[in-house]
Amino acid sequence: MAKLEESTLKSPTAAPAGDAPAPYVRLGAQDNVVVLARHVDVGDSFAGPAGEVWTMSAHLDIGNKLAAAPIAAGERVIKVGVPIGTATRAIESGEHVHSHNLRSDYIPIEVEEEHGDNRGAD
Amino acid sequence: MTTAAPTEWPAYPRADGRKGIRNVVAVAYLVECAHHVAREIAAPYGERGVHVVGFPGCYPNGYAFRMLSRLCTHPNVGAVLLVSLGCESLPREELQTLVAESGRPVQTLVIQERGGTRSTVAAGRAWVETQIAALADADRVTMSIDELTIGTICGGSDGTSGLTANPAVGRAFDTLVGAGGTCIFEETLEMVGCEEDLAARATTPALAVELRESVAKAERYSVAMGYPSFATGNAAGGLTTIEEKSLGAYSKSGRGPVHGLIKPGDIPARSGLYLLDVVPDGDPRWGFPNINDSVEIAELISCGAHAILFTTGRGSVVGSAIAPVIKVCANPDTYALLSEDMDIDAGRILTGRGTLDDVAEEICGLVAEVAAGRLTASESLGHREFVLGYKSFEPIGPACHPAPLPMAVA
């Protein structure tokens, strides 16, 4: 760890608000989700790609997805320009996108619990 | 990055024309009942390049025999000790003959004929010590990137794998193949949803059909097993669907043309990019095709991979017998926790400390350094995992590979 010079230290309040880079990356121009590049906590607030302010209601780790725009039930979810499944319910802009609202178009993942699928996965 | 990576290095010449970047003494048990003896023989020489491989099954399996044949004649192997119980069905004389014909010193010890465990361990250690001394004086020849074969696998994937480490390995593959090297990717089970893009990269229309079919076979196999290649840890890392995970896994293959489809034990006859199909043919009958990452690493090595690029998000620590494993860590948080097990910090892309191209360049440089003898993290920590089970394959068809495969083994 580099030792900080005394003169370069700033008080937390000196940091300009809103100057931090967005905690997510958008991987494709057509994507309707963004991917977290670092974890977020409950109450964290930042701007989505369309400029609206998102406030997080849960702790989410790096790699999780947020809706970049409202997604209708039955709509394809697009990441890196490629469909990664279908929304099982309406998803709001900024909402966490995961197994509670996104389903594979290929093979259902058995860690899902919401669909009453009791084929025996634990 | 400090000094420029080497473009040439001394390597071990083999009679089949390939060159090795390590000179390992392989101790192979031919049934689980001989595993303990093999492990005891190798135990004192962990730091001196003696690695244990083997097959646990007592009943015959053509795939397992072919795997052991390829691994015992792998360019990184300089001498082979076969350890047999005596009543297993793996044809040990045939294996010994194959290894001898490859120009390597080989010895078979049959426990039931040697007076038991203690006597066999003593005889095995005496032979191994002779080989270690002989290999220390082995001739070396110059080797360069165009003679290297590199495999890639991902394990313990999370949402960062497809953002950092996997596409960085893909770019490194583009560079290595461009320099005349051979690269092998696999995990058709994790390409469901990517099959059309894959097929479009085939160098011939007939190969495109084969590539598409290999993914369809993987999907049929997963459905029959009742579970795709997706573990609970993947979901905890933010990945939701198999096709999303596929997208990340698939990006390890880079963007270049795909030159062929091979199966375990097939050695590409010319340089290029190859898809390794590890899903058994025929009706699913041997259970999960990839019970863990080590099985697939051994299969990549059986195709001649000198070293493995292993991308991980959650943080795998495994290495391998026979070939060095380079850990490319996708997740900056994981890297901070497990840096002693990691070789490359690809997650720095997410924290603004580098670009995909920077990491790809670092990977290519490290590949050359490891080929020149630098130990990877898993090598220096003594990781030499090895797993081999039952499978069955049909030989690949003429459309799969544009040139005949050398050294056919039944």
What are the pLDDT digits (tens) for B199-213?
999 999 999 999 999
- Please indicate, yes or no, whether residues B179 and B34 belong to a single structural domain of this protein: no
Q: Tell me: do B155 and B304 sit in the same domain.
A: yes
Find which of B227, B240, B244, B331 to mutate to test the A interface (most A CBs within 10 Å of its CB). B240
State whether B210 and B332 are in the same domain. yes
Read off the amino acid at residue B218: A
Q: B220 with B327, same domain? A: yes
pLDDT of residue B2: 44
Q: Do B241 and A120 touch (CB under 8 A)?
A: no
Helix (H) or strand (E) run with residue B379 in it: helix B377-380
| ipTM surpassing 0.90 | no
**Across residues B303-330, what is the average pLDDT?**
97
B338-349 average pLDDT score: 96
Q: If you ran DSSP here, which 8-state letter would residue B21 be given?
A: S
> What phi and psi, each to the nearest 5 degrees, are found at residue B154?
-120, 145
pLDDT given at position B404: 53
For residue B339, how many other CB atoms are within 10 A of its CB?
12
Structural domain that includes position B368: 144-380
| pLDDT over 90 at B256, yes or no | yes
Residues B151 and B117 placed together within one structural domain of the fold:
no
In A1-122, which ranges are E strands?
24-25, 33-36, 45-47, 53-55, 65-67, 76-79, 82-87, 96-97, 102-103
The yes-or-no verdict on residue B192 having pLDDT over 70 is yes
Residue B396 lies in a domain: no
Distance CA A47, CA A110 (A): 34
Q: Which chain A positions have a beta carbon within 8 Å of B235's beta carbon?
A: 98-99, 109, 111
**A103 chain-B contacts, CB cut-off 8 A:** 241
Convert the pLDDT of each residue in A3-37 to its tens digit: 333 333 333 333 334 446 789 988 777 899 999 98
Which of A1, A111, A118, A122 to mutate to test binding with chain B, by most B CBs within 10 Å of its CB? A111
Task: Work out the angle at residue B201's Cα, subtended by the Cα atoms of residues B195 and B206, and round it to the nearest 5 degrees.
Answer: 80
pTM equals: 0.85
B346 and B221 in one domain?
yes
Q: Can you give the CATH number for the domain in which B37 is found?
A: 3.40.50
Asked if residue B150 and residue B129 are part of one domain, the reply reads no
What share of chain B in percent tops pLDDT 90? 76
Same domain, B286 and B153: yes
The larger pLDDT score, comparing residue B186 to residue A63, is at: B186
Same structural domain for residues B129 and B175? no
Please indicate if any CB of chain A lies within 8 Å of the CB of B240: yes
pLDDT above 50 for B241 = yes
Residue B53's pLDDT is what? 98
Claim to verify: residue B343 and residue B208 sit in the same structural domain: yes
The predicted structure's pLDDT at residue B403: 59
* Residue B155 sits in the same domain as residue B133: no
DSSP B363: H
Number of domains in chain B: 2
Question: Do the Cβ atoms of B345 and B157 come closer than 8 Å?
Answer: no
The dihedral through the CA atoms of B300, B306, B311, B315 has a sign that is positive
- Could you tell me if residue B334 is inside a domain? yes
B235 pLDDT band, cuts 50/70/90, is confident
Q: For residue B359, give the 3-state DSSP assignment.
A: helix
Per-residue pLDDT of B24-41, as tens digits, reads 999 999 999 999 999 999
Determine the 3-state secondary structure of B185 from DSSP: strand
- Which pLDDT score, from 0 to 100, does residue B56 have? 97
> What does DSSP assign to residue B153?
E
Same domain, B194 and B335: yes
The Cβ of residue B208 has, within 10 Å, a number of other Cβ atoms equal to: 19
Q: Is B241–A21 a contact, with Cβ atoms under 8 angstroms apart? A: no
User: What span, in angstroms and rounded, lies between the C-alpha atoms of B258 and B238?
Assistant: 30
pLDDT in tens, B49-65: 999 999 999 999 999 99
Side chain identity at A7, as an amino acid letter? S
Of the residues B191, B194, B234, B241, the best mutation for testing chain A's interface (the one with the most A CB atoms within 10 Å of its CB) is: B241
Range B331-353 average pLDDT: 93
Q: Write down all domains in chain A, each with its CATH number in brackets.
A: 22-103 (2.30.130.110)
Supply the pLDDT for residue A8.
Answer: 31
